[in-house]
Structure formats: C-alpha cells, structure tokens
Structure 1
Amino acid sequence: MDGSWRVAVNATLHCLTGCAIGEVLGMVIGSSLGWSTWPTVILSVALAFLFGYSLTIRPVLRAGVAFGAAVSVALAADTISITVMEIVDNAIMVAIPGAIEAGVGDWLFWASLAVAFAVAFVVTVPVNRWLIARGRGHAVVHKYHDHAAH
C-alpha cells in the first residue's frame, strides 16, 4: 500500500471512529425509545457529525489553535468524509428490513450496523484519498498533528 492510500485509510479510520460513536449512540437511543426509522437516523447522523468533528477539534486545540479556527479546520477536514460515510451507512441500515426496529438486544441490529460501517469505510477510503491528494479533507489537519505531540 503506497503512502497516499495509507494516509487515506488512517483518515477514514479517524472518521469512522467519530461516526461510529455518534451512530451507535443515536441508533441505541432511537431504538431503545422505540422511535421510528427516520427520527433515529436523524439523531444518529447529528451525533456522528458532532463526535466526528469533536475528534478533530481536540488535537487542533491542543496545538494552540483558537476554538473558532479549530472548528473551521474540522469543518474543512471532515465534512465530505463524514457526509459520505453517513449516507452509505444509513442507506444500508434503512435498506436492511427491520434492522433499526430490531432493537439493541437483537443480533440483526448489530450485524446490520457492522455491515453498514464496513461498506461505508470501503466507499469512503477512495474519497479521502482523492481529497488528501488535492490538499483537502483530512490533509488540512496534518500540520496540527506534529504540534499536538509537543
């Protein structure tokens, strides 16, 4: 795997982490409260963006960047990646009959979510590679990673 693919995979893993935290939390809340599909999906997407951006903002803030600027960096770095990931994984969850309604105690719910994340990851890696190759997406965060370690 060449360096650009490795960077894209790492960026996508970063994106998947934030999306998964928000997505699982949203799906668990919506399913546990007996919500229908669309309110559950809306909550999951909102939380995925919240956690995805938060995971990017934190190291940028540690690098000494002001909060407003850190938010701008996160928006520039992650919006396309999170959007692609959310479209793909939620489309799969909605397409699998009964997946969301199955509830957190049912294997169908968790197996569907795992498949949705795996497919979303595979679809999003080339998107991130394309963005990074053009100096966009997660590439805008890289200059802050070295400073955060000090």
Structure 2
Amino acid sequence: MITRVEDVFAPAIEVLRPILSDPMVAVAWALLVGISIGILVWDIRNRNRALPSLMKGVWTLVTVYSGPFGLALYWYAGRTQISNDSVWRRGVRSTAHCYSGCGAGEVFGITLAQGVLALAVGWVAAITFGLAYVFGYSLTVEPLMQEGVGFREAMADAFYSETPSITIMEVVAIGADLLLASHAHTGDILFWMALALSLSLGFIAAYPVNVVLVRLGVKEGMKNPAEMGGG
C-alpha cells in the first residue's frame, strides 16, 4: 500500500524535492517567516492586546509553522478588527488552535524519531502521531481544567471534539513529510523544508473538518475576537 501511495504522488515528489532542497529557497522562506512573525508581534502589541494570552500563543505558533500563510490566517480570523464573524472564520480559529498544539507534537516527534534517532518509517509515524495527540489534547484539557473542569471530563471533551481534526491533520502532515523526506536528517535542508510544507498541508486538510464540527456545534470555534474591542 505504501508503494502504491508513493507511485501516485511520485510526479509531485520529483518536482518538490529539488525545490525543498535548494538553499536559496530555504533562506527566502526563513526571511518570509521572520518578517511574518515581526508583523504579527507588532500588530498584537499595538492593535490587539485584548486577545487572550492563549490565542496570542496560538497565532505565534501558526505563523512560526506557516510563515505568511499563518499571518494571513491571523489577519482573516484572529484580529479584533475583523468586520464580521462567520462559521468560516470560526473554523480557521478552531483549526489554528488544534494546529498550534499538534504542530508542536509533530515537530518534536519528527525531529526526535527521524532526525536524531533515525528510526524506521513506521516508528517515526507512530511516535509523531502519539506526540501530536498528546500536545493537541493538552491544549484543550489544560484551559478547561483551569476553568474548574475535572480531568476526566476535560479529557472526554478533548477526545470528542479534537480527535477528528487531529487525525485528518496528522495523516496528511506526517504522510506528506515522510513521502518527501523519509530519509533526511536534521542537517539536511530537505528535512526542515518538507516539515514546514507538511504542517501547512495538514492545516488545509483539517480546515473543512473543523468547519463542519463548528457548524454542528461540536466545537465552539474560539471566541469572536471582534467582541474584545480594539487592542
């Protein structure tokens, strides 16, 4: 089955690997990420201080993972200046919340299992999936417990609301990363660039799932930032 999947995506892989291995592309991407983070930090400090600390952290991680794409998501759905809220914006915020935690688990898992320990593909996938769930659930469980919800209830809520999103996100993200760079190590440009691309692909895949969950009332989609007033 793995060979069949590789055959299906072989043309895309052949195009993407040389691009993602190019030092100039890596430098350009690093500059874009740095600029995007600078814009985000400036906007939060000067215009959006009213955002909760959790969401400030979420948008920072989203922009670290996805650069200008992450900044565009923040501009569309995360600022207090948005003109009107919608299920689409709520879906973005919900996906971003999931993405920030799962992304951290994926980065840590891939770096440890593949980049440092050089484990087999199956172990890399298993460890990374496990850490993505742990990090993703914790970002839901911890705030609920701070509000007085018991651990079991918080875990049940996280499992019910986050599992579909995390599963789709990580199947796509980890799958894309392993297809592009399963034999790369931390010293290879391909390792980091494939990881960055795979994270954004995971967000895109999970977004429709979160929109449906928000529309069905399974997830709230995070609070409307416009209700918090100008920063």
Q: Same fold (TM over 0.5)?
A: yes
CA 1:68–1:141: 2 relative to 1, 3 Å: farther
Query: 1 CA distance for matches of 2:185 and 2:156?
Result: 36
Give TM-score scaled by structure 1 length. 0.87
Runs in 1 of length 4+ with deviation above 2 angstroms? 138-142
Partner of 1:148: none
In our comparison, the structure showing a higher alpha carbon Rg is: 2
Q: Residue by residue, what CA displacement relative to the aligned partner does 1:1-37 show, whole Å, maximum 9, x if unpaired?
A: 6521111111111111111111111111112012111
Kept in 2, the 8 Å contact 1:102–1:108? The answer is yes
Alignment equivalent of 2:113, drawn from 22, 25, 30: 30
Query: 2 CA distance for matches of 1:128 and 1:56?
Result: 15
Kept in 2, the 8 Å contact 1:77–1:139? The answer is no
Alignment equivalent of 2:220, drawn from 139, 142, 145: 139
The number of residues matched between the two structures is 139
Query: 2 CA distance for matches of 1:91 and 1:35?
Result: 16
**Alignment map for 1:60-139 (pairs within 5 Å):** 60-96=144-180, 99-136=181-218, 138-139=219-220
Give TM-score scaled by structure 2 length. 0.57
Query: 2 CA distance for matches of 1:53 and 1:83?
Result: 12
Alignment equivalent of 2:135, drawn from 45, 51, 60: 51
Q: Secondary structure at the match of 2:220?
A: helix
Structure 1: gaps (5+ residues): 143-150
After superposition, the CA RMSD in angstroms is 1.6
Q: Percent sequence identity over matched residues?
A: 36
Query: 1 CA distance for matches of 2:221 and 2:149?
Result: 13
Q: Residue by residue, what CA displacement relative to the aligned partner does 1:47-101 show, whole Å, maximum 9, x if unpaired?
A: 00000000100110011111110111111110000000011111111221xx132
